Structure 1
Amino acid sequence: MGAHIVMPIQVASLTELTSWLAKYDTKKEVLDHLDRLYTQSNFTKQYKLEFEIRALQHNNLSVQEFYAAISDLWDRLSLTEPNVLKDFTPYIDRREEQRLVQFLMALRSNFEGLRGLILHRTPLPTVDSVVHELIAEDSCIKFHADRAPKTATPTVFVVP
């Protein structure tokens, strides 16, 4: 908060500052007022991070790269949560479900079958266990793609 308070003091003369703060009786009231004026809420950060999470797509990233990218956004978003919620089990459970939904929605279409199976499990798996499954599935997809017969380029022979 100190950095925020220095700014108005630097731009105001002592007379202006005195008249501006005269309506407060205590130092705490002055500091609370300055804090309300110059401290931004986490809402802007939260909005930006939520937007980035929704825009992030698996596309050409490996499962591990995608998971690392979305986990970083989730970790940064969790820093904007009120402290009272960080130990509240129903909130934590709901947040983990929301993360699973965000993760599954952003996956490439070649994981559609596994995504459907995961969504119908009771109880829902954790994101970490889903990542483990996806890494295994991705390895199988790559293995079969490498072993698939290469299609030859069609050739036309012209006979005179």
Structure 2
Amino acid sequence: MHQDSSQSISNYYSQTASIWEQFAAANPPLKYAENIDHFAKYKDRRRFTQFMMGLREDFEPTRAALLSRSPLSSLDVAVKELFSEENRRHHHHLSSSNVVLATPRPLASSSD
């Protein structure tokens, strides 16, 4: 799954989480606490990686920063940072719109 060019982080996350819930129904039942912990960590890292790799290319710098952390952030922390980045870009885009200023032209003098 990949984020569409016009899709928000929130919408992309919701779609991805919905698919993960469907897959969760197929997870094997685990009996031992150690296995449950290992599987939960594996599942969290897999989801983190899947979500990061599905982001649009314009999020590459943020994705690279999140993937290079050691230890990796949780998916919740990463999504919050991506929300912030998306909002920052939206506000920057609005504030950097083209602006045209008009000034009155001086009257021509007889020497011109």
Taking structure 1 as the reference length, the TM-score comes to 0.56
1:118–1:125 CA contact under 8 A, matched in 2: yes
Partner Cα distance (1:112, 1:150) in 2: 26
Deviations 1:128-154, CA, capped at 9 Å, x for gaps? 1111111110000011111114289xx
1:85–1:91 CA contact under 8 A, matched in 2: no
Residues 56-135 of structure 1 aligned to structure 2 (within 5 Å): 56-59=1-4, 60-84=6-30, 88-135=36-83
Q: Which runs of 5+ in 1 are unaligned?
A: 1-55, 153-160
Structure (1 or 2) with the greater helix fraction: 1
The amino acid across from 1:103 in the alignment is: F
Larger radius of gyration: 1
Identity between Structure 1 and Structure 2 (%): 24
Deviations 1:97-122, CA, capped at 9 Å, x for gaps? 11111000110111111111111111
Q: Specify the alignment match of 1:145 in structure 2.
A: 93
Partner Cα distance (1:65, 1:133) in 2: 15
| Structure 1 residue runs of 4 or more that deviate by more than 2 Å after TM superposition | 149-152
1:100–1:126 CA contact under 8 A, matched in 2: yes
RMSD: 2.0
The amino acid across from 1:114 in the alignment is: T
Partner Cα distance (1:132, 1:119) in 2: 15
Higher relative contact order (CA 8 A, sep 6+): 2
Aligned residue for 1:80, secondary structure, equals coil
Deviations 1:39-84, CA, capped at 9 Å, x for gaps? xxxxxxxxxxxxxxxxx22122111111110001001101101111
The amino acid across from 2:43 in the alignment is: R
Residues 26-37 of structure 1 aligned to structure 2 (within 5 Å): none
